[in-house]
């Protein structure tokens, strides 16, 4: 009997069989990323010491990987026809089919790369103990399956910033291992920035001597004032021999490494080594804090000679089609006052400094094109016109991708809203320090790399997407892993699996099983599967708190309403809790009929103020990337996180003034109104300078706001004030000033709960 599933999660009893079949284990099917189709039978292929592998040279890498993997698990394989690699030229480059029956395993592919992905799938049909050579049996039952599989996107990547913090060669290889295991094919290696130059360039030894090291490093968060430093010299770089070793290792795993050499901005480390590369010629230091800096490459010929020399050595090390040249966050302050740059503008007939940036990027592109390579850059390379053959990596939302695709340029999607894995991933206040934001697993999984504004023809220019790991706040390798996993797994499924067959609930079930594999691989991951999500809902004319957990099978939610910690004696949550007063609710997931608590206790503070249950209208829609729980979330009795401005309670608006109208339903006495704004300037977020408040048809009152700190609170008291409707005008900060991150762009406004007492 066969059955078919599009979700790829079939639990086959993980057990030791009868006495006659002792030491033969079966393995559950919980494959990530989910295959396009899978048929499962009730029979098994028995893997043991009699198993042999047969393959032609075209499958040498994939077959050798499988052989080494099996032998590391204690199963010595021989030459034979039990496992056969078969060339099928009808399959696409990265596609494969895997057919496991009682007496054989067939892997079909048109390339070694396709076969390699088949091996990664077969790997997940084996016990996790194979990952760390702890398997003690001598035989394994592999379930009979027929899998037909191919990726949805050609570009499936992960990024890693080693400029802010350096990581060992062993860790880089481990990172590549994970990329390959998840059928991703690109490693974007961010090698240079203001805080450090990490690649050996033999023609310019000061890059290793000076640019690779900073005198000290910022302690705490960039938003903390005043800034504190650790007083310790920090740095390092990868030699060309080490890079060759990494590139060869990646090639053995069908991972292409795209190096990033930042220009014209994020270049202060290089200018510290060679001051003549800057506009002033003055000595600067390698940056010791994060952010955007005004010292960027000058546009004189000496700078281009330097960059061409650097790129010549980079091209010798990296065979990739693309070279990433950055292009982002380049303040034009120095260019505006630089005689060389102003002369360049006049001689080239350029309109302004933005067109000068286009000149810069286009000149570098022409040089790389002459060497048979192409450039890829962040979406700022659109400024002043897009270089002719450039590919755009869209990070500031999707508008850059839409513009580029509509112009016939290839695009890689990596918007902050879904792809920045340096953002917080949980509401827990004890999460490791991060840059800010909030990007939970489900949001990553729900990412659609094709912007809705594109036609089907334009959508073909979207090559794929990648997850980004910026490491300002990740000094340790285990912290990088914690931020990457399991979000990397979700991204792999976004890019590989058929979107019409995807199910987040099913993914979570497979992820719970996959955690065992991550444990065996000694990968530190964030386990938020047993956390509880809370939502305020309106039901039967009442305001209620609804609780949900991701993993439900064999688990219950226990809850207390008086602020005590939940335990086995606490009530079991069965239906939404009526909210008619302020209270602290705590809840946690427990194993069914057990006192074993899974995950952390959530604490939900309900502030039952006069606005809760009212009606609210905002004249502008919040940005779709930061829409929280909608406008109703501003009067639901729950305040947002103190550090995660992207959670479901904060609403984000980009460059817009907003008008909030709150209808209390009846006239009520108003003693005070309060709210707060996020002021994370490093993330382009600015609190308004003032807000205006009016009641019913009265005139607006103006209130100035302080701008000190990352959270700006507003609270005003009123005497003898009653109203049915409250109007609040929030004026956007405006354009971000020169010298700040995002200079020249519109500021974001983030607003939290509006509390009415």
For the chain, what percent of residues have pLDDT higher than 70? 96
Confidence of residue 26 (pLDDT cuts 50, 70, 90): low
Give the DSSP letter of residue 211: I
For residue 87, the cross-strand partners are 109
Across 612-757, the runs of DSSP E, i.e. the strands, are 615-618, 651-654, 658-669, 672-678, 690-695, 701-704, 711-717, 722-730, 748-751, 755-756
Dig out the tokens for 444 from the structure: 């990553």
Cβ atoms of 164 and 182 closer than 8 Å: no
How many residues does this entry show for the chain? 757
Query: Is cis: bond before 632, omega within 30 of 0?
Result: no
- Does 386 have pLDDT greater than 60? yes
Instruction: Quickly name the fold that domain 2-149 has.
Output: Chitobiase; domain 2 (3.30.379)
CATH 2.60.120.260 corresponds to the domain 615-756:
yes
Instruction: Name the residue among 419, 354, 351 with its Cα closest to residue 380.
Output: 354
**Residues 6 or more apart from 86 whose CB is under 8 A from it?**
106, 107, 108, 109
Among 73-82, 351-360, 630-639, 648-657, name the one with the lowest average pLDDT. Answer: 73-82
Q: How far apart, in Å, are the Cα atoms of 126 and each of 14, 63, 372, 473, 518?
A: 11, 16, 42, 36, 14
Residue 296: strand, helix, or coil: coil
Cβ atoms of 585 and 532 closer than 8 Å: no
Q: Which comes out higher in pLDDT, residue 5 or 188?
A: 188
End-to-end CA distance of the chain: 66
**Residues 6 or more apart from 680 whose CB is under 8 A from it?**
223, 436, 645, 710, 750
CA 391 from chain centre, in angstroms, equals: 20
Q: Would you state the pLDDT for residue 395?
A: 93
pLDDT, tens digit, 9 for 90 and up, residues 283-332: 999 999 999 999 999 999 999 999 999 999 999 999 999 999 999 989 99
* Spatial separation of the C-alpha atoms in residues 446 and 651, rounded to whole Å: 19
Dig out the tokens for 644 from the structure: 């995660």
Cβ atoms of 91 and 71 closer than 8 Å: no
Confidence of residue 225 (pLDDT cuts 50, 70, 90): confident
Q: Would you state the pLDDT for residue 453?
A: 94
Dig out the tokens for 615 from the structure: 């009606």
Q: Would you state the pLDDT for residue 27?
A: 59
The secondary element (H helix, E strand) that includes residue 148 is: strand 139-149
- Does 11 have pLDDT greater than 70? no
pLDDT, tens digit, 9 for 90 and up, residues 255-264: 999 999 999 9
User: Domain coordinates of the chain in residue numbers?
Assistant: 2-149, 155-331+363-497, 532-606, 615-756
pLDDT, tens digit, 9 for 90 and up, residues 473-509: 999 999 999 999 999 999 999 999 999 989 999 999 9
pLDDT, tens digit, 9 for 90 and up, residues 146-193: 999 999 999 999 999 999 999 999 999 999 999 999 999 999 999 999
Give the phi and the psi of residue 251 in degrees, each rounded to 5.
-60, -35
Instruction: Give the orientation angle of helix 301-317 with respect to helix 240-251, to 10 degrees.
Output: 50
| Domain 532-606, second-level architecture | Sandwich (2.60)
3-state secondary structure 546-600: EEEECCCCCEEEEEECCCCCCCCCCEECCCCEECCCCEEEEEEEEECCCCCEEEE
| Radius of gyration for the alpha carbons in the chain, expressed in angstroms and rounded | 28
* Spatial separation of the C-alpha atoms in residues 390 and 530, rounded to whole Å: 44
Instruction: Name the residue among 423, 323, 337, 436 with its Cα closest to residue 370.
Output: 323
Residue 492: strand, helix, or coil: helix
Instruction: Give the orientation angle of helix 487-496 with respect to helix 477-484, to 10 degrees.
Output: 50
- Does 646 have pLDDT greater than 80? no
pLDDT, tens digit, 9 for 90 and up, residues 440-477: 999 999 999 999 999 999 999 999 999 999 999 999 99
Which of the residues are catalytic? 193, 266, 329
Dig out the tokens for 628 from the structure: 């929280």
- Does 422 have pLDDT greater than 60? yes
Q: What is the mean pLDDT of residues 345-359?
A: 95
Confidence of residue 28 (pLDDT cuts 50, 70, 90): low
**686 C-beta neighbours (distance < 10 Å), count:** 25
pLDDT, tens digit, 9 for 90 and up, residues 678-723: 998 878 899 999 999 999 988 999 999 987 788 999 999 999 999 9
- Residue-averaged pLDDT of the chain: 92
Instruction: Quickly name the fold that domain 155-331+363-497 has.
Output: TIM Barrel (3.20.20)
Cβ atoms of 413 and 156 closer than 8 Å: no
Q: Would you state the pLDDT for residue 219?
A: 96
| Bridge-based pairing state of the strands 555-560 and 571-572 | antiparallel
- Give ∠ CA 429-746-438 in degrees, rounded to 5: 20
Cβ atoms of 749 and 732 closer than 8 Å: yes
Q: Would you state the pLDDT for residue 742?
A: 81
């Amino acid at each position: 009997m066969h059955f078919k599933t599009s979700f790829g999660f079939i639990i086959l009893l993980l057990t030791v069989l009868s006495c006659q079949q002792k030491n033969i284990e079966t393995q559950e099917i919980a494959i990530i990323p989910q295959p396009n189709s899978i048929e499962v039978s009730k029979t098994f292929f028995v893997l043991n010491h009699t198993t042999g592998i047969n393959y032609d040279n075209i499958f040498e890498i994939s077959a050798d990987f499988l052989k080494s993997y099996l032998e590391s698990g204690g199963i010595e394989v021989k030459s034979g026809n039990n496992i056969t690699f078969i060339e099928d030229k009808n399959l696409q480059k990265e596609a494969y089919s895997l057919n496991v029956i009682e007496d054989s395993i067939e892997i079909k592919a048109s390339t070694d790369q396709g076969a390699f992905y088949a091996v990664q799938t077969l790997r997940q049909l084996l016990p996790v103990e194979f990952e760390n050579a702890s398997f003690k049996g001598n035989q394994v039952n592999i379930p009979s399956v027929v899998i037909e599989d191919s990726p949805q996107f050609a570009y499936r990547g992960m990024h890693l910033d080693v400029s802010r913090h350096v990581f060992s060669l062993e860790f880089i290889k481990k990172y590549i291992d994970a990329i390959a295991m998840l059928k991703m094919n690109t490693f974007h290696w961010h090698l240079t920035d203001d805080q450090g130059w990490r690649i050996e360039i033999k023609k310019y030894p000061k890059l290793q001597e000076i640019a690779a090291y900073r005198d000290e490093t910022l302690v705490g968060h960039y938003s903390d004032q005043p800034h504190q430093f650790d007083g310790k010299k920090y740095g390092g770089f990868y030699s060309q021999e080490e890079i060759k070793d990494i590139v060869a290792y990646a090639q053995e795993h069908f991972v292409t490494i795209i190096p990033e050499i930042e220009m014209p901005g994020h270049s202060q480390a290089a200018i510290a080594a060679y001051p003549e590369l800057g506009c002033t010629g003055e000595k600067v230091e390698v940056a010791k804090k994060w952010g955007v800096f005004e010292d960027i490459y000058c546009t004189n010929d000496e700078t281009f000679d330097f960059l061409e020399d650097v790129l010549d050595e980079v091209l010798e090390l990296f065979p990739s089609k693309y070279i990433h040249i950055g292009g982002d966050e380049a303040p034009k302050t120095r260019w505006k006052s630089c005689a060389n740059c102003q002369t360049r503008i006049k001689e080239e007939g350029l309109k302004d400094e933005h067109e000068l940036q286009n000149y810069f990027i286009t000149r570098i592109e022409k040089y790389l094109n002459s060497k048979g390579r192409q450039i890829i850059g962040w979406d700022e390379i659109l400024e002043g016109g897009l270089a002719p053959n450039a590919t755009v990596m869209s990070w500031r939302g999707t508008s850059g991708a839409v513009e580029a695709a509509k112009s016939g340029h290839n695009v890689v999607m990596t918007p902050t809203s879904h792809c920045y894995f340096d953002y917080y991933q949980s509401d827990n206040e004890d999460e490791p320090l991060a840059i800010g934001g909030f990007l939970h697993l489900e949001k990553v999984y729900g990412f659609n790399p094709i912007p809705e504004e594109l036609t089907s023809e334009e959508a073909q220019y979207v090559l794929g997407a990648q997850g980004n790991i910026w490491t300002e706040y990740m000094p340790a390798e285990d912290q990088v892993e914690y931020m990457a996993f399991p979000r990397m797994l979700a991204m792999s499924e976004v890019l590989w699996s058929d979107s019409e067959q995807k199910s987040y609930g099913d993914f979570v079930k497979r992820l719970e099983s996959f955690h065992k594999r991550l444990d065996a691989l000694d990968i530190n991951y964030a386990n938020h599967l047993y956390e509880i999500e809370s939502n305020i809902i309106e039901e039967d004319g009442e305001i209620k708190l609804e609780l949900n957990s991701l993993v439900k099978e064999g688990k219950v939610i226990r809850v207390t309403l008086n602020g005590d910690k939940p335990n086995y004696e606490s009530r079991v949550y069965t239906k939404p809790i009526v909210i008619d007063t302020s209270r602290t609710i705590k809840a946690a997931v427990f194993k069914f009929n057990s006192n074993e608590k899974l995950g952390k206790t959530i604490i939900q503070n309900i502030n039952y103020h006069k606005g809760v249950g009212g009606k609210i209208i905002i004249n502008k829609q919040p940005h779709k990337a930061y829409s929280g729980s909608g406008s109703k979330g501003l009067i639901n009795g729950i305040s947002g996180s103190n550090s995660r401005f992207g959670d479901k309670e904060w609403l984000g608006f980009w460059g817009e003034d907003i008008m909030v109208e709150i209808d209390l339903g009846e006239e009520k006495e108003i003693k005070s109104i309060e709210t707060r704004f996020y002021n994370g300037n490093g993330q382009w977020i600015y609190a308004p300078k003032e807000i205006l408040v009016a009641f019913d048809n009265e005139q607006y009152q103006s209130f100035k706001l302080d701008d000190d700190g990352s959270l700006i609170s507003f609270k005003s008291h009123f005497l003898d004030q009653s109203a049915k409707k409250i109007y609040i005008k929030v004026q956007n900060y405006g354009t971000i000033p020169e010298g700040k991150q995002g200079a020249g762009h519109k500021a974001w406004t983030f607003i939290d709960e509006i509390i009415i007492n």
